C-alpha cells in the first residue's frame, strides 16, 4: 500500500518548557474519563477521583495557541464537586477563564457581564480560548524534563491581557530551573524554591500516558 506524504506538514522542533511568568493563549479541552478512571454520574465530562470518591473533577488539557510555543500542552485537574476548598479554587479559575475568553472585566456587574459569566452547561468550557500565566512544576531528582503549570488566567483588567492579545504572547527571559541531582524519589528541600510559590496543589495528579515524554510534547 502506497502512502503519499507530500501534503503532510513539515516537521518542527519542539520548543521545550515555557519560561516562568510568560503569558500565552491556550485552548481548553476537557478530557472524558477513560481506562481505569471512573466517569462521574453528575456530568459526562466529570471524572471521579480515585483517592476521594466525593471529589468529581475535570481532566483539563490546555493547548498553547500562541506562536512561539504553539502545540505545547499543560494538564491539570479541576475539582468541581466535593472538597469545598478545591471547588472554590476551580470556580475562581473558571470564572477568570470565562471572563478572559469573553472579554469581561472582573469588576463589571452589569446585566451583560452577569449573563456573560453564565454557562448553559459545563460543556460550554470546551474550546474556550484565553490567556494564562505559566509557572514551572518544581523539578525533582530523577525527572527527565521540565514541565509547565498554570499560575492564573489573565483577565481583561490586567495590562498583560491587551498586550498578549495584540502580540499573541509575552515571553519572559526568566530562567528555567535545572533538574536537581540525586536519586529518583529523593526529597528536595523546597522551602526556598521560588517555583513552589505559585504551584497549586491538585487533589489528584493529571494522568500521564508516557513517562518518557515531557508534558509539553505529549
* One-character DSSP codes across 89-119: HHHHHHHHHHHHHHT--TT--SHHHHHHT--
Rounded Cα gap, residues 94 and 23, in angstroms: 17
195 pLDDT exceeds 80? no
| Residues 21, 217, 60, 85, CA torsion sign | negative
Q: CA-based angle 119:120:121, to the nearest 5? A: 85
Do 56 and 89 contact (CB within 8 A), yes or no? no
Write the CA distances from 83 to 20, 53, 87, integer angstroms.
29, 11, 6
Rounded Cα gap, residues 131 and 69, in angstroms: 13
Mean pLDDT lowest for which of 93-102, 141-150, 191-200? Answer: 191-200
The domain limits of the chain are 23-176
How do residues 43-91 score in pLDDT, each as one tens digit?
Answer: 999 999 999 999 999 999 999 999 999 999 999 999 999 999 999 999 9
Task: Give the pLDDT band of residue 8 (cuts 50, 70, 90).
Answer: confident
Rounded Cα gap, residues 78 and 92, in angstroms: 11
162 pLDDT exceeds 60? yes
Amino acid at each position: 500500500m502506497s502512502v503519499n506524504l507530500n501534503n503532510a506538514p513539515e516537521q518542527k522542533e519542539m520548543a521545550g518548557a515555557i519560561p516562568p511568568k510568560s503569558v500565552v493563549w491556550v485552548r481548553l479541552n476537557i478530557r472524558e474519563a477513560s481506562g481505569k478512571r471512573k466517569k462521574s454520574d453528575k456530568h459526562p465530562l466529570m471524572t471521579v477521583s480515585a483517592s476521594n470518591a466525593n471529589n468529581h473533577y475535570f481532566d483539563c488539557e490546555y493547548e498553547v495557541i500562541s506562536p512561539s510555543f504553539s502545540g505545547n500542552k499543560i494538564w491539570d485537574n479541576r475539582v468541581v464537586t466535593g472538597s469545598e476548598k478545591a471547588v472554590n479554587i476551580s470556580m475562581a479559575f473558571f470564572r477568570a477563564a470565562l471572563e478572559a475568553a469573553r472579554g469581561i472585566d472582573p469588576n463589571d456587574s452589569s446585566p451583560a457581564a452577569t449573563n456573560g459569566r453564565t454557562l448553559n452547561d459545563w460543556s460550554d468550557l470546551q474550546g474556550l480560548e484565553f490567556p494564562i500565566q505559566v509557572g514551572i512544576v518544581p523539578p525533582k531528582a530523577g525527572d527527565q524534563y521540565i514541565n509547565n503549570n498554570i499560575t492564573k488566567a489573565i483577565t481583561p483588567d490586567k495590562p498583560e491581557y491587551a498586550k498578549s492579545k495584540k502580540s499573541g504572547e509575552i515571553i519572559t527571559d526568566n530562567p528555567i530551573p535545572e533538574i536537581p541531582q540525586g536519586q529518583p524519589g529523593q526529597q528536595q528541600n523546597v522551602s526556598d524554591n521560588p517555583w513552589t510559590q505559585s504551584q497549586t496543589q491538585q487533589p489528584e495528579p493529571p494522568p500521564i500516558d508516557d513517562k518518557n515524554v515531557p508534558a509539553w510534547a505529549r
